Amino acid sequence: MATGTLLYAQSGGVTAVINASASAVIQAARAKKVRVLGARNGILGALREELVDASKLSAAEVRALAHTPGGAFGSCRVKLKSLQADRAKYERLLEVFRAHDVRWFLYNGGNDSADTALKVSQLAAEFGYPLTCVGVPKTVDNDLAVTDCCPGFGSAAKYTAVSLRECALDVAAMAETSTKVFVYEAMGRHAGWLAAAAGLAGTGANDAPHIILFPERAYDEADFLARVDAVVKRVGHCVVAASEGIRGADGKFVADAGAGTDSFGHAQLGGVASHLAGRVKDMLGHKVHWALPDYLQRSARHIASKTDLEQALAVGRAAVECALAGQNAVMPVIVRTNDSPYRWHVDIAPLAKIANHEKKMPASFIRKDGYGITAAARRYLTPLIAGEAPPPYGKEGLPAYVEPKLTLVRKKLPAWAG
């Protein structure tokens, strides 16, 4: 039996399957008789010494986490700065870890979380504290380096493709006397992976989405409007999938709300779909509808990809194995070995190769005209949305999600003044 405590925390925007990783972490640790604590609201909970006693969760609750969206332990958008700039916070984390005999720290998140886990491992080494830090991948943006894909993306991609196909049928039915143009906004600040997933909704030249706007390509309003008008004349209607992060040739976000930045230092975007819809209406005169699925696309557990669920569980189990084996400052990653039939396995990569790196859509995935996906993109994306993993449903017709009661352990340190 390993001695010490494993601390697990969730970070950033939660997904349809991040709790599946949490479930796998807890079950794998329990199998090794390792005590597990969860930080409430991510790194904030660790700083505040608000630690959840995972031993209080029943086996049924832990299993049910695997089909429950959201973040069971709470998440946060807090990015710690460099070791020098935020040294007091990092030292506070080590104080909390010491107080609760935390020897393994698993941080389930994206790029910024990988960076935090790496820096915590570096400080622990500096102080000679025996701590193993492991990142657990998660992000609907699919922009983590090294890994073939990110748990959370496949389910959001499936939601996007299905929603686009369904909305397109609605628009086609109404187009003669009503809506001519429909604009769907997908998450993706710098990388167009989710917008690309919309392209799976159709295969023919006249199938929706007729236009996809990627952050990797400069947005040209005149060309966009001309293409919309041409599609309407040819097909009778036009369905557009736009990434929230598209920029003009000047590098400015098309949908920059002018509202400053969020807690991660990212520009606060104001809704690209509404902007594009307004321009289509004003310049072309077509009746337009638009949709901002926002949280819906990342929380839709009812339509989760089976592949995505399996990968979220796999990286959770692998993270515990890495931690207990003393593999420090690493992250389990997905390695694809074949497209069709789809085959993959989990490997281990150093956090240094993931933190502060960003994986954008490769040029080979974007059609030469810049407004659609290629066959290579389809080969990459299709397996990630494959399979269904529906949650159990209750008598009232709603998914039977679990909302576990979280019991905090007793604090041992003075309150954090940060």
What is the per-residue pLDDT for 107?
98
Residue 81, CB half-sphere, CA atoms under 13 Å: how many?
7
Name residue, tokens 């040294």.
87
Residues contacting 169, CB < 8 A, separation 6+:
none
At residue 258, the pLDDT reads 47
Running DSSP on this structure, what letter comes out for residue 51?
E
Count of residues in the chain: 418
Q: How far apart are CA 21 and CA 350, in angstroms?
A: 19
How many other C-beta atoms are found inside a 10 Å radius of the C-beta of residue 48? 18
Chain centroid to Cα 111, Å, comes to: 10
Catalytic residue selected from 112, 115, 141, 143:
141
H or E, element range at 333:
strand 330-338
Domain boundaries in the chain? 5-139+302-355, 153-299
49 DSSP 8-state letter: T
pLDDT at 361: 95
CA dist., res. 261 & res. 258, Å (int): 9
DSSP character at residue 388: B
For 96-131, b/e burial (b = at least 16 CB within 10 A) is bbeebebbbbbbbbbbbbbbbbbbbbbbbeeeeeeb
Q: Which two tokens stand for residue 12?
A: 């950033």
CATH, range 153-299: 3.40.50.460
Encode 215-239: b = buried (16+ Cβ within 10 Å), e = exposed: bbbebeeeebbebbbebbeebebbb
Helix (H) or strand (E) holding 93: helix 87-99
pLDDT value at position 270?
A: 57
Tell me what pLDDT residue 269 has.
Answer: 57
Handedness of CA 24, 153, 403, 109 (dihedral sign): positive
Q: How far is CA 12 from the centre of its chain?
A: 8
pLDDT of the chain, 418 residues: tens digit per residue: 568 999 999 999 999 999 999 999 999 999 999 999 999 999 999 999 999 999 999 999 999 999 999 999 999 999 899 999 999 999 999 999 999 999 999 999 999 999 999 999 999 999 999 999 999 999 999 999 999 999 999 999 999 999 999 999 999 999 999 999 999 999 998 999 999 999 999 999 899 999 999 999 999 999 999 999 999 999 999 999 999 999 999 999 998 744 445 444 555 555 899 999 999 999 999 999 999 999 999 999 999 999 999 999 999 999 999 999 999 999 999 999 999 999 999 999 999 999 999 999 999 999 999 999 999 999 999 999 999 999 999 999 999 999 999 999 999 999 998 8
Looking at residue 260, what is its pLDDT?
A: 45
Q: Where are the beta strands (DSSP E) in 88-187?
A: 102-109, 132-137, 181-186
Task: Residue 199: name the closest of 375, 384, 15, 388 by CA.
Answer: 375
Q: Dump the DSSP string for 360-387.
A: PPPGGGB-TTSSSB-HHHHHHHGGGG-S
Give the whole-angstrom CA distance, residue 306 versus residue 155.
Answer: 8
Plot region of 133 (φ>0 → left; ψ -120 to 50 → alpha; else → beta):
beta
What pLDDT is recorded for position 418?
Answer: 81
Q: What's the whole-model pTM score? A: 0.95
| Cα torsion 145, 149, 155, 160: sign | positive
Q: Give how far the C-alpha of residue 69 lies from the chain's centroid of Cα atoms, to the nearest Å.
A: 12
Nearest by Cα to 361 from 70, 153, 116 = 153
- Asked whether the domain spanning 153-299 has the same topology as the one spanning 5-139+302-355, the reply is yes
Helical (H) or strand (E) element with 87? helix 87-99
Contact by Cβ (8 Å): 130, 103: yes
Active-site residue, 294 included? no
CATH fold label, 5-139+302-355: Rossmann fold (3.40.50)
**Would you state the pLDDT for residue 256?**
74
Rounded to 5°, angle at Cα 64 from 63 and 65: 90
